[in-house]
A and B are shown apart, each in its own frame.
Chain A
Amino acid sequence: MSPAAKKTLVVTRFDPDRDEAPRAQRYEIPVQEDWMVLDALNFIKDEVDGTLSHRWSCRMAVCGSCGMMVNGEPRLTCKDSLRQYGDTISVAPLANFPVVRDLVIEMDGFMQKLESVKPWILRAKELAVEEGPMRQSPAELEEFKQFSMCINCMLCYAACPVVSNEPDFLGPAAIALGHRYNVDSRDEGAGVRNEIFRAEGTVFSCSYANECSEVCPKHVDPAAAVNQAKFNAVIDWATGLVLPRGGAK
């Protein structure tokens, strides 16, 4: 049996109780040919340095837990094969997020942005049970289905230059989620969400970098959602100047 290949992972470490600032730590480890970056990190934690902290769960790119910067690019480490990299790979926590420890970032800010777009069906008047289910055609589903595939992995936030520099910006995933509900035929809350988009959420801050869509592992295309949301928010603003607003309040 041939000896296992070796790779060096340069991992960002940060212990808030000991470190002033994040530092790099090198681990040279044997790797298997079919490993993902996450497998290498788990090997380090299990066999080399049990103090390494990182988030992961499903190992199949559906939970969105294992997002990290691999060689400077935001990636899901569970689906990022080691084979595509050279002998030295850098692994760092997601950019643009405060770092709690090692590769674990502070997620609460992201969760608050998601909540702020009211990501649920808003109705002007709730349907009574007797009125039966809300019916939706396949064509109506197609309108928003792509934008509902987001796994909240936050790679788009790590890539977005506006998120880096404007703390109030809602960000790609939150705007895409709000837009998903705005174009859902069952929803009547577009007016409310468009006001949120126009206000502090400042959807117009998006400056067409398209990085969010480049890095999205689920092909949600948040850039499309954000820019459609901008357009709809303008139409909503313009019509709101002359017509009274209906829908959910």
Chain B
Amino acid sequence: MTRPAHPHAMQPRRPGRTRTAPPALPDRFPFAGRYLAYTLFDLTGLLYLAVGFLVLRAVWALGNGPEAWQALREQFANPLYVTFHVLALVSVCFVAVRFFRLFPKAQPPRIGPAKPPPGPVIHVMLYVVWLGVTLVMVTILAGGLF
């Protein structure tokens, strides 16, 4: 069943000579076919906002002293928080995979007139950087460095 798109979608500046039927949304939008991944991609915005504010809370607690930091760590041990962080991790991976597929064609890195490397090379380089940075951060945070 078709649902209406915005009433002025693709409307010409002046109406045509005959009455037109209003524009309709694509049938599969927003939860079917490829649109599902797109809608989920947008929905990760909610998780990212929450994560941003949680990191803020953590840094604020760190600034308040040892008791506040310990209290925060105990709160983070709550199964609800752990579940949220697992979900956030899944969504971060989902965003990374989707964005890395787009990035080589959207922002081929360029230094002056030199040609950027081929798309697949940039794609692999992004994964290498992601894994490398993650490894370094995990090592540092888990006490393996510094």
Contacts and interface: CB of A to CB of B under 8 A. Distances in A.
Say if the two chains contact directly (CB < 8 Å): yes
Interface of A: 14, 16-17, 21-22, 69, 72-74, 92, 95-101, 105-106, 108-110, 112, 157-159, 161, 163-167, 207-211, 214, 221, 223-224, 227-228, 230-231
B128 to A, nearest CB: 22
B107 A101 contact: no
A5 to B, nearest CB: 26
* A interface SS class: mixed
A96 B25 contact: yes
A74 B6 contact: no
Contacts of A106: 10-12, 16, 20
Given A227-B107, A231-B106, 7 more contacts: A21-B21, A74-B26, A101-B18, A165-B9, A210-B38, A211-B35, A223-B105
Interface string B1-23: 01001101111110010111111
Contacts of A209: 35, 38
B21 A99 contact: yes
Contacts, number: 128
Contacts of B102: 208, 210, 223, 227
Interface of B: 2, 5-6, 8-13, 16, 18-30, 33-35, 38, 41-42, 98-99, 102, 105-108
* Most chain B CB neighbours (cut-off 10 Å) among A98, A158, A164, A211: A98
6 contacts: A73-B33, A106-B20, A163-B10, A164-B6, A211-B35, A228-B107
